Amino acid sequence: ELKVEQNPLFLSMQEGKNYTIYCNYSTTSDRLYWYRQDPGKSLESLFVLLSNGAVKQEGRLMASLDTKARLSTLHITAAVHDLSATYFCAVDIGAGMRFGAGTRLTVKP
């Protein structure tokens, strides 16, 4: 059974700092997703990564995928308070997705 491990589960950052969230998965997959969830809200799509070596950037967030290592990263550059949220990676399982446990990010002034 596909397992998706995300770490860290909790992350407290100072504004202006950089950090990386890691997502490991146990079997091959065609697609990997990153989502953001604010408290009491649904999921907002950030990135979908389709191939080995794929890198996508949006603002202060950059996601990458290494299919050989079965690893995706979400890098945060110069964090700001507005990035405080829970971030999920999810792996396509052919029909639907298997989610990581989520990383609860808090950015402090």
Is 55 a binding residue for another protein by CB under 8 A? The answer is: no
Binding piece for another protein, criterion CB under 8 A, among 10-18, 33-41, 62-70, 73-81: 33-41
Going by their DSSP bridges, the two strands 55-58 and 61-66 should be labelled as antiparallel
Is 32 a binding residue for another protein by CB under 8 A? The answer is: no
> Applying CB under 8 A, which of residues 7, 50, 55, 69 lies at the interface with another protein?
50
What b-and-e string marks burial along 44-61, b requiring 16 or more CB atoms within 10 Å of the CB?
eebbbbeeeebeeeeeeb
Which structure tokens are listed for 107? 């950015």
Is 100 a binding residue for another protein by CB under 8 A? The answer is: yes
> Applying CB under 8 A, which of residues 27, 45, 57, 106 lies at the interface with another protein?
45
Is 99 a binding residue for another protein by CB under 8 A? The answer is: yes
Give the x/- contact pattern for another protein in 1-20, rule: CB under 8 A. x-------------------
What b-and-e string marks burial along 30-41, b requiring 16 or more CB atoms within 10 Å of the CB?
ebbbbbbeeeee
Q: What is the three-class DSSP state of 75?
A: strand
**In angstroms, what is the minimal distance from the CB of 19 to another protein?**
20
**In angstroms, what is the minimal distance from the CB of 15 to another protein?**
26
Going by their DSSP bridges, the two strands 43-49 and 55-58 should be labelled as unpaired
